[in-house]
A and B are shown apart, each in its own frame.
Chain A
Amino acid sequence: MTVQTQVFNTISGAAVQATSERFQEPEWLRLARAAAWENFEATPWPSYKEETWRRTRLTGFKLQQFPLAISEAAGSTRRQDLPAEYLSTLNQIDSAGALVFEDGRLIYAELNSEFRDKGVVFTDLRTALQTHDELVRAHFSALVPARENKFAALHYALWQNGTFLYVPKHVVVEKPFQVLVHLSAGKAAMHHTLALADENSEMTLVEDFTGAVDGMSDTVAEITPMAASRVHYLRLQNLDNTAWNFATMRTAAQRDSLYRQLQASWGSRLSKVWIDLEMEGPGSHGELLGLYFPQGRQHIDHHTNQNHKCERATSDLLFKGALNDRSRSVYQGIIRVWPGAQKTDAYQKNDNLILSAGARADSIPGLEIEADDVRCTHGATSAKVQDEYLFYLMARGLDRKTAKRMIVQGFFQEVLNRVPVPGVRTKLELEIARRVGLE
């Protein structure tokens, strides 16, 4: 190892510059990285005095301990040569295309030629920077700026690679685009997701994050459903239970668009996930679905924002979590209705099922309404599996474990019913079944 490699795999200002040099990045990106690093350094470390960090402490988290996962040149593999676990994940979904990343390195890419011919771009962000420079430049960091939060700043300073998906006007792709992001042990990785659905197009993006044993994932996702488009974004966080996970996501829904997002937060020792839905165009409809099922001492924190900036937009949020052992969840959500955003219809609900006396779920819903002709509803519940339910099922011959499993699965069904990709739904059901089995 040379001195130089040691520099660019640490989390440092030198690594920021080294990354730009390594990839011979254009000037705008070099500047953006440098500015993001400055921002990162200038932003104080999260403190419990900030509302968003009040219930989530980063005790034991030492940023400097993680060497940066640095992506090498893309190496392409044939599908059949992929490791069995990737292959089986890919095979769960009948997709229009697939990308597989290992530590930021794109190791496999495929795209149905029919959609390639129609102008669909589905590739890694590094490649897109070469082939679709203007598109990337126009949208990269446009929704989530580096100053968004300290982890977004870090992300923009040191990101290595990511997903780029563009579906042109009027092109409808019903099958999902599938992305696997695998992170190796003990490193810091920053995957970026940039998805653009042009006017009146349709896309479904499924991203699956795995690995990061004792590592850290710091992601940003920017999704733009343009006018009258239909976008589904399914994010499956299957990281190892020892991973630290930070994610900042924002979607800006344009006029008459339809957006549906699912966040399934299964893994990580600690997750801090911000999900922002910006209703920017009249007639748009946005849905945010969330699932979590922590166990052991996992800590899962979701902070959502339904931001109604325009009139006649609707949004609907449903986050459901079951908690085992000594796990903890935090749900913080706000519906903001801007002045003039009349005829807003916004809904927000967080339900928690506490499966163990040592588990705890905090739910903090909120409303900020500055228009008068609106309908906003929010609610939160927290309950245990009631003995009366268990007894009813057991009196029909189900053993205690099966009865409990049914009740927990039933609890999640309301979200599962709304998951638009059957292969993903099955996968989620299996994960839930697996977690209910662990007691």
Chain B
Amino acid sequence: MTDILEVTDLHVAVEGTEILKGVDLTLQQGEVHALMGPNGSGKSTMSYAIAGHPHYEVTSGDILWNGESILGLDADERAKLGIFLAFQYPVAIPGVSFANFLRAAVSSVRGYKERARAEAGGGNKVIGSELMPMREFRQELLAKMDRFDVDRTFARRYLNDGFSGGEKKRGEVLQMAMLEPKIAILDESDSGLDIDALRIVSEGINKLVADGMGALLITHYQRILNYVKPDKVSVFYQGRIVKTGGPEIAHMLDERGYAWVEEELAQALA
């Protein structure tokens, strides 16, 4: 079965101000959809709303997972469905090691907790039984660190604490690889990367897409699209998607900038 995420006429307000003004979007597994738009147009707001950030209030419209609304679900429940958000600005959490955190996250998403509960039958729970076995987890983590070109020292470091911009983005890709989402929203995973890091991050995304992940690739620049080939490109402008087409749109934007979009919009309104 192919999982599908649909956003329909989505309006989102932050602290009383409407930021998203009717977004429509469909994304399915195996598909790459690039979303380009100027700073402040609401791309991150949309990402947060899909991931379930409580500060982002959906005032109308819907977010559907295989046809069912997920607006009532908390962020963790959405993650368990298979939705992943690679953050534009991942936060640093001192004292929490990357490996411990990831083991807890993977265990939760893969249902170890529910299984442990069912096995315990409501009785005494064994400490650690809600987690993926350490050895298995380590093996998989090390294999994926190698496959996704992430340094093995990441495991012991505190989550994003003291990470460079590039390390943070690579950390997000590693998390994504471990959590194996059905649909990932990559919020500017390419910004601030040098060419080597960009290549590594792009290859990571390509591998996961090849494995069946759907990706919403939010970006400012056409640059990453040289590495990750989108099926569709949309232009995001002032809180909505104003144009959708093929890769040629990205080239137009690159050549003519967002002024082109503004002109087109003005013409359409005239």
Contact = CB atoms under 8 A, between A and B. Distances in A.
A389 B101 CA distance: 12
B76 A397 contact: yes
Contact of A395 (B55, B85, B158): B85
B218 to A, nearest CB: 15
A411 interface: yes
Contacts of B87: 392, 395
A422 interface: no
Given A389-B93, A398-B105, 16 more contacts: A391-B53, A391-B75, A394-B74, A394-B75, A395-B75, A396-B102, A396-B108, A397-B76, A397-B179, A398-B108, A399-B74, A400-B76, A406-B100, A409-B95, A411-B95, A412-B95
Contacts of B106: 397
Contacts of A52: none
Contact of A392 (B93, B100, B104, B108): B93
Contacts of A400: 74, 76
Give the 4 A-B residue pairs with the shortest CB-CB distance, closest first. A410-B95, A413-B95, A410-B96, A397-B79
B91 A396 contact: no
B141 interface: no
B52 A406 contact: no
B175 to A, nearest CB: 6
Nearest to B101: A406
Contacts of A403: 76
Q: What is the size category of the interface that chain B forms with chain A? A: 20 to 34
B109 interface: yes
Given A395-B75, A396-B175, A397-B80, A402 B96 contact: no
Interface of A: 386-389, 391-400, 402-403, 406-407, 409-414
Interface in B85-114: 85, 87, 90-91, 93-96, 100-102, 104-106, 108-109
B54 interface: yes
A394 B80 CA distance: 10
B76 A409 contact: no
B36 interface: no
B51 interface: yes
Contact of B93 (A410, A412, A414): A410
Given A393-B101, A396-B105, A406 B93 contact: yes
B66 to A, nearest CB: 18
Contacts of B80: 397
A384 to B, nearest CB: 14
Contacts of A392: 87, 90-91, 93
The listed residue with most B CB atoms (<10 A of its CB), out of A388, A393, A411, A413, is: A393
A369 to B, nearest CB: 30
Contacts of B85: 395
A393 B87 CA distance: 11
A410 B94 contact: yes
A402 B93 contact: no
Given A387-B55, A388-B91, A399 B96 contact: no
Nearest to B79: A397
Interface string B37-67: 0000000000010011111000000000000
Contact of A399 (B51, B53, B108): B108
Contacts of A391: 48, 51, 53-54, 75
A412 B94 CA distance: 9
A394 B96 contact: no
Nearest to B109: A397
Nearest to B90: A392
A386 B79 CA distance: 20
Nearest to B106: A397
B91 A395 contact: no
A300 to B, nearest CB: 21
Given A387-B55, A397-B105, A407 B76 contact: no
Given A391-B54, A402-B108, A396 B79 contact: yes
Given A387-B54, A391-B54, A406-B101, A397 B94 contact: no
A405 to B, nearest CB: 9
Contacts of A406: 93, 96, 100-101, 104
Interface in B8-57: 48, 51-55
A303 B154 CA distance: 39
In the complex, which of the residues B74, B95, B109, B175 has the most CB atoms of chain A within 10 Å of its own CB atom? B95
A393 B93 contact: yes
B107 to A, nearest CB: 9
Pick the most buried of A393, A395, A402: most chain B CB atoms within 10 A of its CB.
A395
Contacts of B158: 410, 413
A283 to B, nearest CB: 32
Contacts of A395: 51-53, 75-76, 78-79, 84-85, 87
21 contacts: A386-B91, A387-B54, A388-B91, A394-B52, A394-B75, A394-B79, A395-B78, A395-B87, A396-B79, A396-B109, A397-B76, A397-B80, A397-B109, A398-B104, A399-B76, A400-B74, A402-B104, A406-B96, A410-B96, A414-B94, A414-B95
Contacts of A393: 93, 101, 105
